[in-house]
Amino acid sequence: MNTKYFYLNTIGCQMNVYDSEQIAVRLATLGYEQTAAMDRADLIIVNTCTVRAKAEQKAFSFIGRLAKMKRNKRRLIIGVGGCMAQQEGQKILERMPCVDLVFGTQTIDRLTGMIQQIETRRCRIVDVHMNDTPEMPEFIKDSRPDNQVSKFVTIMRGCDNYCAYCVVPYVRGAETSREPQSILQEIQMLVDNGVREVTLLGQNVNSYGRKQNLVTFPELLAKINEIKGLLRIRFTTSHPKDLSAHLITAFRDLNKLCPHIHLPVQSGSNRILKRMNRKYTKEQYLDKVAKLRDTCSEIAITSDIIVGFPGETDADFKQTLELVKTVEYDGLFAFQYSDRPHAPSVKLPHKISEPLKRERLQSLLDLQETITKRKNKALVGSTQLILTDGLSKKQVSGEPQSTGQALQWTGRTATNKIVNFNVDPSAADTESLPGKLVGVRIDKAYSHSLFGKAMNAEPSDGGLKGVENYAA
């Protein structure tokens, strides 16, 4: 039998990356092999996002390219999944005649059956059914080798927060948490396969377990912290209103929990926060930031901010800039507000013009860049504990080197900063570096990364808070 190939294009957040892996495992059970060469594929799936208008345009332009391919390859099956599929449903089939399958965010467990039907009957299918009390899709173990040091693990799905600008509750459905046992088993399996860091995913991990009366999020973290062989735990995203005192102390008490929190503020103006339905004030937010820093002095804080929310005045925006100056984030994802179907803010008056949104975005990014550079510069001369991911991008794509020359590796600090570093080839067993914690002296700081030299390379189980032990 000829091998069948599938090509998978993932647009959007880490949750989509995780879902795509679960899609890939299911396709493998139908005899499909994954390919990186799109023209070789018998089945092409695009896992879409619709959080901002740009992501949606990206998906439609990709499907447009596929239409051309399909003219020369009639049996090619094209599937559109994820958030945009959920939102648009049948309309995608009408707009894009090349598409055979539209599958929503709660249909992964039905995917293989739908593909089989299309293979045998050449029919077109739309399944965007959503449950009021959604179930977590069955986790299927991926036995394909991938050598990754760090993996995402989805611990909950959906969202009940209904922020005024956000489409997520409508396209991902109600919040549901996954059973702790299933999460622990998945992480154990990943660790057995060589993974050393996990990032727990949820739209608001702070409310993990609450609805179904499972363990709390800090309790789940404590259980994960016990897994032998796992070196680092990260999570995203935290809604500031639900950031509990218990979670704050977890940064002090759990040695594998990385000192980094992504705590999206969205705006520095109380008036806009209220219109956004965020349910906290700037003062409450700043109070939580202060408590985090009091409890864990090295903690890095990053955030999301939306500029140009309907009705945002110059004075509101100035307050956002002031908040950014006060907090001094380690990094920031800043977005221009875009109207999303279903989101209540679509109906709000006083929309901000595109040029003004662009201008505000630029001044926010400029401010953050100055802060990031200053913070990165302050690390020059220090020694940081880096979890090595693999060879740096430059090393992978660069010229072949002569033997004996230092290789450039890449990894992250516990605070999630990217560090590229040279390792003296005679000083360490470099082949086994991926997945190892390495003490790296930071020599240079850039806007988005740091550069340094490895001082030692030692396997270690935990000990994250021991950075100072590696002083050069």
For binding to ligand SAM (CB under 6 A), which residues are involved?
13, 51-52, 165-166, 168, 203-204, 237, 239, 264, 266, 304, 306, 335, 337-338, 340, 343
CA distance 410 to 393: 8
Q: How far is the CB of 423 from ligand SAM (least distance, A)?
A: 36
Q: Give Rg (Cα) of the chain.
A: 23
Interacting partner of 306 out of ligand SF4, ligand SAM, none (Cβ under 5 to 8 A depending on kind): ligand SAM
For ligand SF4, the closer CB: 163 or 423: 163
For ligand SF4, the closer CB: 242 or 359: 242
Contacts with ligand SF4, 224-243, as mask; x by CB under 6 A:
---------------x----
Residue 159 within binding range of ligand SF4, rule CB under 6 A: yes
How many chain residues bind ligand SF4 (CB under 6 A)?
Answer: 10
Residue 306 within binding range of ligand SF4, rule CB under 6 A: no
Interacting partner of 169 out of ligand SAM, ligand SF4, none (Cβ under 5 to 8 A depending on kind): ligand SF4
CB count in 10 Å sphere of residue 315: 9
Look at residues 388, 407, 406, 386 and name the one whose alpha carbon lies nearest to residue 396.
Answer: 407
Residue 93 within binding range of ligand SF4, rule CB under 6 A: no
Window of 69-77, 156-164, 427-435, 447-455 that interacts with ligand SF4 by CB under 6 A: 156-164
Q: How far is the CB of 166 from ligand SAM (least distance, A)?
A: 4
Q: How far is the CB of 84 from ligand SAM (least distance, A)?
A: 13
Question: b/e string for 180-217 if b means 16 or more Cβ within 10 A?
Answer: beebbebbeebbeeebbbbbbbbbbbbbbbbeeebebb
For ligand SF4, the closer CB: 341 or 381: 341
Interacting partner of 337 out of ligand SF4, ligand SAM, none (Cβ under 5 to 8 A depending on kind): ligand SAM
* Footprint on residues 160-189 left by ligand SF4 (CB under 6 A): 161-163, 166, 168-169
Cα angle 267-305-291, degrees, rounded to a multiple of 5: 70
For ligand SF4, the closer CB: 280 or 409: 280
For ligand SF4, the closer CB: 8 or 273: 273
Residue 50 within binding range of ligand SF4, rule CB under 6 A: no
Residue 333 within binding range of ligand SF4, rule CB under 6 A: no
Residue 338 within binding range of ligand SF4, rule CB under 6 A: no
Give the helix/strand (H/E) hosting 471.
none
CA distance 267 to 318: 10
Residue 87 within binding range of ligand SF4, rule CB under 6 A: no
Write the Ramachandran bin of 161: left for phi over 0, alpha for psi from -120 to 50, otherwise beta: alpha
Look at residues 311, 211, 219, 297 and name the one whose alpha carbon lies nearest to residue 252.
Answer: 297
Interacting partner of 338 out of ligand SAM, ligand SF4, none (Cβ under 5 to 8 A depending on kind): ligand SAM
Handedness of CA 371, 374, 376, 382 (dihedral sign): negative
Look at residues 50, 9, 51, 1 and name the one whose alpha carbon lies nearest to residue 30.
Answer: 1
Number of Cα atoms under 13 Å in the Cβ half of residue 242: 17
For ligand SAM, the closer CB: 235 or 421: 235
DSSP 87-136: HHTHHHHHH-TT--EEE-TT-GGGHHHHHHHHHHH---EEE----SSPPP
3-class DSSP assignment, residue 390: strand
By DSSP bridging, strand 4-10 and strand 43-48 are parallel
Window of 138-146, 157-165, 208-216, 329-337 that interacts with ligand SF4 by CB under 6 A: 157-165
CA distance 345 to 330: 29
Kindly state the tokens that stand for 101: 């399958």
* Footprint on residues 16-45 left by ligand SF4 (CB under 6 A): none
Contacts with ligand SF4, 194-213, as mask; x by CB under 6 A:
---------xx---------
Q: Kindly list the distances between the CA atom of residue 91 and the CA atoms of 125, 171, 289, in Å, as whole numbers in the listed order.
A: 12, 15, 44
Residue 303 within binding range of ligand SF4, rule CB under 6 A: no
CA distance 242 to 204: 8
Residue 12 within binding range of ligand SF4, rule CB under 6 A: no
Interacting partner of 335 out of ligand SF4, ligand SAM, none (Cβ under 5 to 8 A depending on kind): ligand SAM
CB count in 10 Å sphere of residue 271: 14
Interacting partner of 352 out of ligand SF4, ligand SAM, none (Cβ under 5 to 8 A depending on kind): none
Q: Which residues bind ligand SF4 (CB under 6 A)?
A: 159, 161-163, 166, 168-169, 203-204, 239
